[in-house]
Structure 1
Amino acid sequence: MLNIISISIVPAIIIIIIVHGYIKGVDIYSAFIEGAKEGLKTSISIMPYLIAIFVAVGIFRGSTVLDIFTHLLSPITNLLGLPKEILPLTLIRPISGSGALGVVKDIIANYGPDSFIGNLASIMMGSSETIFYTITLYFGSVGIEDYSYTLKAALISYIISIFLTTFICSAIYII
């Protein structure tokens, strides 16, 4: 039953939109073309922001900065209960989703999916956001240039989520 629903949901939505537009007397083709034009304009307007974030991610991943940060922060995070193996994930996740996915893949390959570190990495990956990419995409698409308050709030919530996830996983893993 789920297979049938998943196959038919997109065509059903398209049919509903077309029927609704026809009932309301909307020129569906013209509305579609106008939406496509706006989408193209938005894509072009956010292109510089996306290029900048992708270049920054490439530099960050290609250099040894990640290893240096991991080495510098590991004594502090060990005191707080965060394993040093998770540090690369916590540093790369706010910047790059694909980079973080690669880190999680490496963690699971090295420690296993059922280990504490594997579980912690999986939960962190699923419960956090690529902050800089999201801000770049959404704020750049509407032309907002001052996003300092949003960035501060997002980073604070991300740091809190790291330690809450570690605490909850530690409590569950011990049980």
Structure 2
Amino acid sequence: MSILAIISSLFLPALISCILLFALYKKVDAYGAFTEGGKEGIRLSISLLPFLLGMLVAINILRASGFLDAFNHALAPILSFFSLPPDLLPLMLIRPISGSASLGMLADLTATYGPEHFISRAAAIIQGSTDTTLYVLTVYFGAVGIKKMGRALSIGLLADVAGMTIAIIITIWYFS
């Protein structure tokens, strides 16, 4: 066993020990604080449930209605002008909405084309360089009661478009 493997296996127990020793030094009831945090986590999860349910219903409606397929078909000529594969468009549309749905699309693209194909590589880089903007805004802003999120939405979606653009440029540059 290498020294790095030993250090990495001991890191988490050492971190927990340091936290407990610091709590002991500060005379804080660590177990009580831990259980209070757990109670707050459960309350937060229950308050987030309606927002999560709304997002899941909206995503399933988009998928089941055939909107994504129609949109993909309509934009295929524009994508071909920029030499972009139309198979990436559904991932690019779903990624700002749902991380799990976009991860499923990434797995499907990788299974269809193989891990060495341009589409699979670009999809993986898009997945890693963008965020689930609408999900984050809906769940976290909704949980704390923020109603005006227009600017955050604009900036978040602009960052997603920039991330997707750079992901494709990097894929072309690095893997071509």
Report the TM-score, using the length of structure 1 for normalisation. 0.89
Give the whole-Å Cα distance in 2 for the aligned partners of 1:28 and 1:164. 45
- In the other structure, the counterpart of 2:134 is 132
- In the other structure, the counterpart of 2:92 is 90
- In the other structure, the counterpart of 1:38 is 40
Of 156, 159, 163 in structure 1, the residue corresponding to residue 158 of structure 2 is 156
For the residue of structure 1 that corresponds to 2:50, the secondary structure is helix
The alpha-carbon deviation at position 137 of structure 1 amounts to 2.6
The percentage of counterpart residues that share the same residue type is 43
Whether the 8 Å contact between 1:82 and 1:163 is mirrored in structure 2 is no
The alpha-carbon deviation at position 133 of structure 1 amounts to 1.5
Gaps of 5+ in 2: none
- In the other structure, the counterpart of 1:169 is 171
Q: Mean alpha-carbon deviation: is it higher for 31-40 or for 125-134?
A: 31-40
Of 3, 8, 11 in structure 2, the residue corresponding to residue 9 of structure 1 is 11
Report the TM-score, using the length of structure 2 for normalisation. 0.89
The alpha-carbon deviation at position 168 of structure 1 amounts to 2.5
Q: How many residues align structurally? A: 174
For the residue of structure 2 that corresponds to 1:25, the secondary structure is coil
Whether the 8 Å contact between 2:48 and 2:143 is mirrored in structure 1 is yes
Gaps of 5+ in 1: none
Give the whole-Å Cα distance in 2 for the aligned partners of 1:77 and 1:154. 23
Give the whole-Å Cα distance in 2 for the aligned partners of 1:17 and 1:27. 12
Whether the 8 Å contact between 2:122 and 2:171 is mirrored in structure 1 is yes
Q: Over residues 109-133 of structure 1, what are the superposed CA-to-partner deviations in whole Å (9 max), with x where a residue is unaligned?
A: 2222112112111111111111112
Greater relative contact order, per chain length (Cα 8 Å cut-off, separation 6+): 1
Give the whole-Å Cα distance in 2 for the aligned partners of 1:88 and 1:147. 25
Q: Over residues 45-72 of structure 1, what are the superposed CA-to-partner deviations in whole Å (9 max), with x where a residue is unaligned?
A: 2221111111112222233111111111
Whether the 8 Å contact between 1:45 and 1:140 is mirrored in structure 2 is no
The alpha-carbon deviation at position 92 of structure 1 amounts to 1.2
Q: Mean alpha-carbon deviation: is it higher for 1-10 or for 101-110?
A: 1-10
For the residue of structure 1 that corresponds to 2:57, the secondary structure is helix
Give the whole-Å Cα distance in 1 for the aligned partners of 2:89 and 2:23. 51
